[in-house]
Amino acid sequence: MKRISIEGQTAVITGAGRGIGRGIAEEFARAGADLALNDYNPIPDDLVEFVKSEGRRVVTIQADVSKTSDCERIIETAVKELGRLDILVNNAGITRDGLLMRMDEAQWDTVLAVNLKSVFACSRAAVKHMVRARKGAIVSISSIVGIIGNAGQCNYAASKAGIIGFSKSLARELGGRNIRVNMVAPGFITSDMTNALDEKTRERVLANVPLGTFGQIADVANAVLWLASPLASYITGAVLQVDGGMAM
Ligand code: NAP
C-alpha cells in the first residue's frame, strides 16, 4: 500500500505520551518524520524505541503546555535538537466536565489553559521559525463538541471552538508565507478519554453516529498526517471532521 510521506521533515507533537497524540507520533514516524514529543509526564520508553526503530530521530520534552514558558521551551528545544521545524501538532487536551451551574472557575481556567492557551503559545513560538523558513504546517486537534456543543462540557466546547476561530485567523495571517493552519475535529474516538464514559452515555452517542461505531486513534492520526503532508498543500483554514458522520 502506498503511504503518505513526510520524509525528512521534523514535527513537534504535544500530549504525545498516550492516546491520540501517541497514535499521531507513531504514524508520523512511519511516514518518515523526525519527532519532538511533548507530554506532561515522561514519554514512555517503548514509544521512543518505536520511533528510533523506524530510523527517525526523537527528542522528548516533558512540559506543561498550559504554561506559555513551557510551550516556548518545547519549540526551542525541538529546533535546537532537530535543526528545524516543519510541522506542529497541537494535540494535548483535557476535560473537566460538569453542568455550568456547578462548574467552578478552576474547571474553566484549567481546560481553557491546557486546550486553548497552549495552542496560542505553541503556535506563536513555532511560527517564528516557520516564517523564517517560509514553510510550515500546523494541525490542531479540535472536537465536534466545539462545533455542535455538548451538555456538561461548556468549558471544553469553548476551548475547542476557540481553536477553530484561532486557527482560521492564523491561516489568514500566514497564507502568504506558505504556512498552512488546519484542524481535525474528532467525534468519539476509542481512547482513555472516552473509556471513562458510562455505558448509557456510550449508547446515546453511538445512536447518533451514522457509521455506527466509535472511531479509532488511527483514524484521527491518518487525518492529521494527511493535512500536515504535501498532499494537502492547497488546504488551509479547514476543519476536517473525523466523526463517522455524527456532526454533519
Ligand atoms: P488522552 O488519552 O487523555 O491523552 C491526552 C494527552 O495529553 C496525554 O498524553 C496527557 O498527558 C496530555 N496532556 C494533558 N495535559 C497536558 C499538559 N498540561 N501538558 C502536556 N500534555 C498534557 O486524550 P485523547 O483522547 O488522546 O485526546 C487527544 C486530543 O484529542 C485532545 O485535545 C482531545 O480534546 C481531542 N479529542 C479527543 C476525542 C476522543 O474521543 N478521545 C474526541 C475529540 C477530541 P498525561 O498522560 O501526562 O496526563
Convert the pLDDT of each residue in 6-53 to its tens digit: 999 999 999 999 999 999 999 999 999 999 999 999 999 999 999 999
β pairing state of 87-90 and 58-62 = unpaired
| Any atom of ligand 1 within 6 Å of the Cβ of 159 | no
Residues linked to residue 189 through DSSP beta bridges, in sequence order? 215
Residue 3 has pLDDT above 90, yes or no: no
For residue 217, give the amino acid letter. I
| Any atom of ligand 1 within 6 Å of the Cβ of 174 | no
Give the C-alpha separation, 115 to 237, whole Å.
18
User: Which range has the worst mean pLDDT, 11-20, 91-100, 186-195, 223-232?
Assistant: 186-195
Run of H or E including 39:
strand 34-39
The protein residue whose alpha carbon is closest to atom 2 in ligand 1 is 19
How far away, in angstroms, is 176 Cα from ligand 1 center?
32
Supply the pLDDT for residue 78: 98
Q: Cell 530510523, residue? A: 55
Q: Cell 523506524, residue? A: 54
What number is the average pLDDT over the span 97-126?
A: 98
Residues with a catalytic annotation lie at 156
User: Which range has the worst mean pLDDT, 155-159, 191-195, 221-225?
Assistant: 191-195
| Any atom of ligand 1 within 6 Å of the Cβ of 164 | no
- Full strand arrangement of the beta sheet holding 34-39: 58-62, 34-39, 10-13, 87-90, 136-141, 179-186, 239-242
In the 8-state DSSP scheme, what is residue 100? Answer: G
Give the C-alpha separation, 118 to 164, whole Å.
14
Supply the pLDDT for residue 83: 98
Phi-psi region of 19 (alpha: psi -120 to 50; beta: other; left: phi over 0): left
In the 8-state DSSP scheme, what is residue 244? Answer: T
CA proximity to 158, closest of 139, 202, 166 = 166
| Any atom of ligand 1 within 6 Å of the Cβ of 65 | yes
Supply the pLDDT for residue 192: 80
Q: Cell 520511533, residue? A: 51
- Which of 12, 13, 20, when mutated, tests ligand 1's pocket best, judged by the most ligand atoms within 8 Å of its CB? 20
| Any atom of ligand 1 within 6 Å of the Cβ of 141 | yes
CB 216 within 8 A of CB 27: no
Give the C-alpha separation, 246 to 205, whole Å.
9
CB 126 within 8 A of CB 85: yes
Supply the pLDDT for residue 211: 97
The 10 Å Cβ neighbour count of residue 58 is: 22
CA proximity to 33, closest of 61, 60, 56, 4 = 56
Nearest atom in ligand 1 to 19's CA:
26
| Any atom of ligand 1 within 6 Å of the Cβ of 147 | no
Task: Give phi and psi for 244, each to the nearest 5.
Answer: 60, 20
| End-to-end CA gap in the chain | 30
Nearest atom in ligand 1 to 220's CA:
30
Joined grid coordinates for residue 171: 491561516
The protein residue whose alpha carbon is closest to atom 8 in ligand 1 is 15
Helix (H, G, I), strand (E, B) or coil at 112: helix
What pTM did the predictor assign?
A: 0.98
Residue 193 has pLDDT above 80, yes or no: no
Average pLDDT over the chain reads: 97
Give the C-alpha separation, 190 to 134, whole Å.
37
Supply the pLDDT for residue 196: 82
